Chains A and B, each alone.
Chain A
Amino acid sequence: MLSKVKKTMELLLFSVIGVSIILSLVACSSSNGEDKINSETLKLQQPTSIDSLDPALSYDTSSTIVVGNVNEGLYTVSPNNKPQLAMAEKVTKKDNGKTLIYTIRKDAKWSNGAPVTASDFVFAWRRVVDPKLASGFSFELSEAQIKNADAIIAGKKDPKTLGVYAEGEKTLVLKLNRPVPFMSSLLSFASFAPINEKFYKAQGKKFSMTSKNLIYNGPYVIKNWKNGDNSITLAKNQNYYNKKNVKVKKIELKLISDTQRAVMAYKNGDVDYAALTGNLVNQNKSSKDFRTDIGAFNWYLMFNSKIKGLDNKDLRKAIAYSIDSKELTQKILKDGSVPAESVVPKGFAYSPTDHKDFADQTNNPYSYNPNLAKKYWNKAKKETNLRSFTLIYGKDEDNMGNVAAYIKSQIEKTLPDLNVNLQTMLKKTRLAKMQNFTYQVALTRWAPDYADPTAILSMYTTNMVSNYGAWSDKTFDSLYNQANTIFVNKSEVRWNALIKAENILMDSATSVPLYQTANAYLLNSKVHNFINHSCGVPLFFKYVYIK
């Protein structure tokens, strides 16, 4: 008996010593980051693999980056986040802004030398709305109010009836239902890129499966790539009209999904950029290469107002006041996230008059206040007998377990008699439950698709597909509609109407914004003009230079 115990102890000791030797080897942080960077090549880490390089089907961030840099639409985005003409050299408005006429640049060429023509745009856009292709970007053409887009998407009209026409080789005419104030921002997105019809037809089903089955009109082309590879290399497009201003000759995107490994690769000089997540943000905060940009989306609590009790404004307010977003971001998350104070995230929609951030102009009433929380809870208790609800969250979504646990403890601590049950599931299950309204409260997020507050506010309009709260308010609806109709050409009035709409949302605590994510990363200090855009194409390499 004794000798057995002794033996086990010996083995245990052996393993403990072994493990600690290995760990100490790993832990002693010595960075041998030699500077392998040269001015011609930029190497970036990407956390996800490419899903598709078909401009109409590339949803994933890495894919969007590639597609956005090898294709170019009518517009692109400047380093200071303003849309500017790209393939188009001129635009004229007619019909009160309901007809737009674009002139395509004469020197715009495809990578095979063919000229970029107006009909390339017509072909590409018809594809996006074609229900047979079922592009996840088709909604963007309805957002752009292009005539017949909605009917075509719903399968009621032929794609040929789409309100976009080529008049001659270089003139593109857009017919709109109504003017769209943020049209140029929308059109800068990758899904509005042209496609060369002749080339497309020649590829058949192989289109976009390898770099040989793709054609490019953007600043870069793809080299030797096939779907499923773990890295992709972009090279300067020799046929790009503005090639003399493209400075970096080669861009390599490497798939490294393990962030710890990404940091190693960064320090090794294998990549010049590595995204940071979770603990790694804190660990690398003091590095001189550490950068952080505001992220694209807000995390928030969504209430299903079809559930009795959750439609109660006071209850929702009580919850909003009982959560301390500051503590949540600084003590729980510690990844650079910041408290969210409005439904519309910061950093992507700016006032047309004074360029002020929309999020800063609205009411931000819900800072942590346990007394107010209790007050609203006492009020709510008289109006509803809901005393517990279930909060759902995705277990495959970063950190949500901790966030959910924090929210539960905060609510139960602040609001006596209110129970929060936590239920974890895959993200896709959470989404399905939200789409079917078979949930009570969800921890969810949403990223804006274009640089206008309506990208977020539209979700709260009655009958919107993505109105997962099933919330409805007449004043809100009418403000939203006015902003898109009668105020469309009066930018200041429109802006104020949208602020009012957001304030209605906040005042009724339709959803409770928690925090806005941040993009933290390491970037070689020799890389300049490397700007993350929080909506649209995340990165444009043509501005980047290395010095």
Chain B
Amino acid sequence: MTHEDIILSINNLAISFKSFSGRVRALRGVTIDVVRGKTIAIVGESGSGKSVTVKTIMRILSKNEKIESGSIVFNNKRDNEIVPIDLLKLSNKHMQREIKGKKIAMIFQDPMTSLDPTMKIGKQILEAIFAHKKIKLKAAVEQVHQLLETVGIKNIKAVMNAYPYQLSGGMRQRIVIAIAISCEPDLLICDEPTTALDVTIQSKILDLIKKIQKARNLSVIFITHDLGVVSRIADQVYVMYAGKIVEYGTCNDIFYDPRHPYTWGLLESTPDMAYLQERLASIPGTPKRMIGDVKGDQFAERNRYALNIDFRMEPPFFKVNDHHFAATWLLHPKAPQIRIPESLRKRIDLMKEENRNG
């Protein structure tokens, strides 16, 4: 992987929130690289820090939020030249004028609340276009038409004149996507864009995002709980737990050769057609909030396979192969040989089988 291939790299990002009970350490050194034209997925339980990570890219910060350390470098392509920009050091104005909407766009979780209820749909899309393009109204309207067509909306005139509450959730998410791609951004961030939708619409929206990604060679950061979705869309997967990336690799790495006990847990708790009859395993306990100074592996308490050292020291990343890394002491040469749980083993074999046959 050469330097040019990476569009965004988050380096050792640490973020904390001031709260009544103390400092909540939401991110504790997150490092993620997004390859140009590829889709990465960030998965993890609720509260693991996925949204905080991507919101920081967009510089959507809460009042009580503090960036402790780290950088987010965006490799901006201008006239075939690549200019790295640290987004965290950019002025608000510059961020607003040059990056948001124009280079990086974002789609939020809940389409029901993502659109301004008092503004017509057409106007909301036009607003996005005019934010970065100096063109005539007529040309802009023409673009809106195209965008709506792209996101698969049929009665374009009516939709443009409608207000958000007149549209269904799926339609609204299409509008949000249209807004996101209106200025041809290089990077699209999707924070659980389908969670709030019902299953059939979910998959349509997913297909749409995939299609657009292909057609426009977009880089995508995709956040989800749903590993099923990940396998459909992602090239690379980052598993996040308690404000840290615990394992990352290609889709194959994570699905067929998971190494971190947390990833095992996640995979085990994923409903799967073939195994639906069986009891759905879940990770015991709940993620804990990290307040004040923390010590050791945060997952240790919930980890069946925890070693003594887990309670004392955070594990570093161990390399599995060139593109697969996991932060668990189990990969240490001196660690006891603990194998992947049997039930998961069987499941993975079955999946491999299916894939080979299918």
Contact = CB atoms under 8 A, between A and B. Distances in A.
Asked if the two chains touch in their complex, CB atoms less than 8 Å apart, one says: yes
Interface of A: 1-4
A2 B20 CA distance: 8
Q: Which 4 pairs of residues, A with B, have the shortest CB-CB distance?
A: A1-B20, A3-B20, A2-B20, A4-B20
Interface of B: 20
B243 to A, nearest CB: 24
A6 to B, nearest CB: 12
A392 B20 CA distance: 56
Contacts of B20: 1-4
Contacts of A3: 20
Nearest to B18: A3
A4 B20 CA distance: 9
A199 B20 CA distance: 83
Nearest to A3: B20
Contacts, number: 4
4 contacts: A1-B20, A2-B20, A3-B20, A4-B20
Majority DSSP secondary structure for residues of A touching B: helix
A3 B20 CA distance: 8
Nearest to B21: A1
Contacts of A2: 20
A3 B63 CA distance: 15
A3 B19 CA distance: 10
A289 to B, nearest CB: 61
A515 to B, nearest CB: 61
A1 B20 CA distance: 6
A74 to B, nearest CB: 78
A8 B235 CA distance: 52
B53 to A, nearest CB: 27
A494 B20 CA distance: 89
A1 B18 CA distance: 12
A309 B20 CA distance: 69
A2 B22 CA distance: 11
Contacts of A4: 20
A22 B252 CA distance: 75
B19 to A, nearest CB: 10
Nearest to A1: B20
Nearest to A4: B20
B313 to A, nearest CB: 34
A321 B20 CA distance: 67
B24 to A, nearest CB: 15
B71 to A, nearest CB: 31
Nearest to A2: B20
A547 B244 CA distance: 95
A515 B10 CA distance: 89
B124 to A, nearest CB: 37
A37 B63 CA distance: 64
A2 B21 CA distance: 10
A8 B223 CA distance: 40
A41 to B, nearest CB: 61
Nearest to B20: A1
A4 to B, nearest CB: 8
A185 B3 CA distance: 115
B13 to A, nearest CB: 27
A277 B353 CA distance: 101
A459 to B, nearest CB: 71
A500 to B, nearest CB: 84
A19 B20 CA distance: 32
A4 B18 CA distance: 13
A95 B20 CA distance: 101
A4 B19 CA distance: 11
A514 B55 CA distance: 79
A330 to B, nearest CB: 58
A1 B21 CA distance: 8
A519 B20 CA distance: 63
A3 B21 CA distance: 11
A196 B20 CA distance: 84
A7 to B, nearest CB: 12
A313 to B, nearest CB: 74
Contacts of A1: 20
A310 to B, nearest CB: 66
A526 B20 CA distance: 70
A479 B8 CA distance: 114
